[in-house]
């Protein structure tokens, strides 16, 4: 803006629409042929008659034609001009999206029946086509591709990193998006009656229309809800509304093993053994209840602040002995040979995936060449997991043996159960039988260290403590951190 510092959104929005840069962007967006532009979909001669059935609407610049929180029975397709999507949250306005020629606004609400998630304001004079709910449903029945296209638009918009409006989902309020995956969006939420923090996992609308994905999502909720173990994420509730499914889970704080590997490069062997032992404990419990995970990998294991692990994402889970699995059920880098060959799976399948995960924890990389999917499958089918000791000299023999035995191609040569695998790690654990939820400190000394620092040093100090903690754990020393407030 010519070196001029702008004020708040409310102060600058009028001047912004007169800006040369804005005018250029508007012109470029008007000729945009991006695949998710709605008019590009309707430009097909076979679909063009739809426009003739729609009502025309003119909106003057500055007018707010969609209001957050209202319930509407129509969406708008932009024929000319541009609008701004604005979320009102905690008394503040947040511009979260720009819509130009060819875009559709308000479509999620006529699909789901929810109230509007944001305001939409006209930045310039706008010409709109009004799409009523009845027309939307009629077109959806006649043209399945139409619904697929709309739900792809919705999925794309859910991937925005900008603020979102609160959503009421039955007894819960979803406040912020905290995670995104290929199948789902995860919200931070709150149980309204109990004032209890929760995580809310929503299946993407573009997938909920597909019966196999919906079955898998239902399966995850049903499976996890039946499990109650300190190393498995808890499910509290299931809500079905807004043309999708929500799984209400415990809200966890921490980082995934994948994020920890990325941050540290690789994990100290004793810390890795501790983590692997916890995963074995959770898997043994699930296996005892007849449930396989079938997608064990570092992304699906969360490390909490006290180093207690939680196994996540039982979306691929099934009962032992299942023989109707697809070759792509799971994450290909960690899949056992029997999964790739569509053979029956059992608890040893999870143990193989754990071997790949263990190799990555201690070396910082996966064991096989990954040029393409075909080469990955060939490596898994023709080779055992290689020796991690070749990459990590001095790796404890018990941990090296664990990875080699758990990673055999032939499942009969692996550990036959997660309890047997855990037993192999026991020599590496300083205290093999910790009390649930905490450590045992028999015959050990304790030193208290106080760090007095200024606020501006907090970020640097956090990194220093993490480095110290990693080194301490290599020695078998447990570091506990707590805040001490001045009296």
Burial level of 356, CB count in 10 A (0-12/13-18/19+)? buried
164: its two tokens:
């979102």
Which tokens hold the place of 172?
């819960």
Say if residues 203 and 183 touch (Cβ distance below 8 Å).
yes
Give CA–CA dist 55/401, Å, rounded: 71
pLDDT mean values, one per 10 residues, the chain (487 residues): 59 68 58 56 60 85 92 90 89 84 87 88 91 87 78 73 82 87 83 91 76 72 82 88 84 93 94 96 93 92 92 68 47 92 93 97 91 88 95 95 97 96 91 41 56 72 76 70 52
Which residues, 6 or more positions from 424, have their beta carbon under 8 angstroms from its beta carbon?
398, 401, 402, 405, 415
Q: Which residues contact 101 (CB under 8 A, 6 or more apart)?
A: 29, 30, 32, 37, 39, 78, 79, 80, 81, 82
Nearest-angstrom CA–CA distance, 117 and 71:
10
> What DSSP character marks residue 123?
S
Backbone angles phi, psi at 49, to 5 degrees: -60, -20
For the four alpha carbons of 154, 159, 165 and 169, in that order, the dihedral sign comes to positive
* Residue 61, phi then psi, degrees to nearest 5: -55, 135
Asked whether the beta carbons of 217 and 164 are under 8 A apart, the reply is: no
Cα angle 325, 327, 332; round to 5: 120
The conformation of residue 481, written as its DSSP 8-state character, comes to -
Angle between helices 269-288 and 418-425 (to 10 degrees): 160
Question: Residue 443: what pLDDT?
Answer: 46
Of 195, 175, 196, give the one whose Cα is nearest residue 185.
175
| Cβ partners under 8 Å of residue 87, min gap 6 | 68, 93, 94, 96, 117, 118, 119, 162, 163, 164, 165
CB of 323 within 8 A of CB of 344? Answer: yes
Cα-based angle 268, 271, 277 (whole degrees, multiple of 5) = 135
> Of the residues 125, 212, 295, 387, which is catalytic?
295
Pair of tokens at residue 274: 């501790």
Task: State the DSSP code for 1.
Answer: -
Count of CB atoms situated within 10 Å of the CB of 343: 13
Pick from 60, 61, 57: nearest CA to 16: 61
Q: Are 59 and 65 in contact (CB under 8 A)?
A: yes
Taking the alpha carbons at both ends of the chain, their separation in whole angstroms is 49
- Say what the pLDDT of residue 102 is: 85
Return d(Cα 223, Cα 289) in angstroms, integer: 10
CA angle in degrees (0–180, nearest 5) for 274-279-281: 95
- DSSP letter, residue 242: T
Catalytic residue flag (residue 410): no
**Residues contacting 386, CB < 8 A, separation 6+:** 359, 367
Q: Please give the sequence-ordered ranges of beta strands (E in DSSP) within 81-234, or none if there are none.
A: 83-89, 92-99, 104-105, 119-122, 126-132, 167-169, 172-180, 184-191, 196-203
Can you tell me the distance from the alpha carbon of 156 to that of 162, in angstroms, rounded to the nearest whole number? 13
* Phi, psi (deg, nearest 5) at residue 167: -120, 130
Whole-angstrom distance, CA of residue 297 vs CA of residue 328: 15
Read off the tokens for 43: 């430009």
Q: Compute φ and ψ for 43, nearest 5 degrees.
A: -70, -20
In angstroms, what CA-CA distances link 93 with 10, 120, 162?
8, 12, 12
Q: Select from 328, 329, 338 the least CA-distant residue to 380.
A: 338
DSSP-based three-state secondary structure for 143: coil
């Amino acid at each position: 803006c010519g070196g001029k510092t702008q004020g708040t959104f409310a102060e600058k929005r009028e001047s912004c629409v007169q800006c040369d840069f804005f005018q250029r962007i508007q012109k470029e967006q008007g000729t945009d042929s991006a695949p998710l532009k709605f008019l590009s979909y309707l430009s097909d001669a076979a679909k063009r008659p739809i426009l003739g059935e729609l009502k025309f609407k003119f909106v003057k610049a500055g007018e707010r034609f969609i209001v957050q929180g209202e319930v509407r029975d129509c969406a708008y397709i932009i024929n000319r001009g541009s609008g701004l999507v604005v979320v009102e949250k905690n008394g503040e306005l947040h511009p979260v999206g720009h819509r130009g020629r060819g875009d559709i606004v308000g479509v999620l609400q006529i699909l789901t029946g929810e109230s509007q998630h944001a305001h939409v304001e006209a930045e310039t004079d706008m010409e709109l086509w009004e799409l009523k709910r009845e027309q939307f449903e009629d077109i959806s029945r006649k043209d399945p591709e139409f619904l697929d296209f709309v739900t792809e638009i919705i999925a794309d918009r859910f991937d925005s990193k900008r603020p979102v409006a609160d959503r009421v989902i039955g007894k819960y309020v979803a406040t912020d998006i905290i995670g995104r995956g290929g199948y789902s969006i995860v919200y931070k939420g709150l149980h309204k009656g109990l004032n209890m923090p929760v995580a809310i996992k929503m299946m993407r609308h573009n997938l909920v229309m597909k019966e196999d994905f919906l079955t898998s999502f239902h399966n995850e909720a049903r499976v996890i809800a039946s499990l109650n173990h300190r190393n498995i994420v808890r499910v509290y509730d299931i809500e079905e509304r807004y043309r999708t499914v929500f799984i209400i889970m415990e809200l966890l704080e921490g980082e995934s093993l994948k994020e920890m590997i990325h941050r540290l490069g690789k994990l100290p062997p004793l810390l890795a053994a501790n983590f692997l032992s916890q995963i074995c404990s959770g898997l043994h419990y699930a296996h005892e209840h007849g449930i396989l995970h079938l997608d064990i990998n570092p992304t699906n294991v969360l490390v909490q602040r006290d180093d207690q692990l939680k196994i996540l994402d039982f979306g691929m889970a099934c009962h032992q002995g299942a023989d109707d699995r697809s070759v792509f059920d799971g994450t290909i880098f960690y899949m056992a040979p029997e999964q790739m060959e569509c053979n029956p799976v059992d608890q040893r399948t999870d143990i193989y995936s754990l071997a790949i995960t263990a190799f990555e924890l201690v070396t910082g990389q996966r064991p096989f060449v990954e040029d393409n999917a075909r080469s990955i499958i060939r490596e898994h089918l023709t080779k055992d997991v290689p020796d991690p000791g070749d990459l990590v000299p001095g790796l404890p023999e018990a941990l090296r043996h664990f990875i080699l035995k758990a990673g055999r191609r032939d499942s009969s040569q692996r550990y036959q159960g997660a309890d047997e695998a855990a037993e192999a790690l026991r020599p590496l654990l300083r205290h093999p039988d910790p009390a649930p939820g905490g450590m045992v400190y028999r015959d050990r000394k304790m030193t208290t260290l106080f760090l007095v620092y200024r606020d501006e040093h907090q970020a640097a100090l956090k990194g220093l403590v993490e480095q110290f903690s990693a080194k301490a754990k290599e020695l078998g020393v447990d570091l506990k951190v707590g805040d001490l407030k001045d009296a």
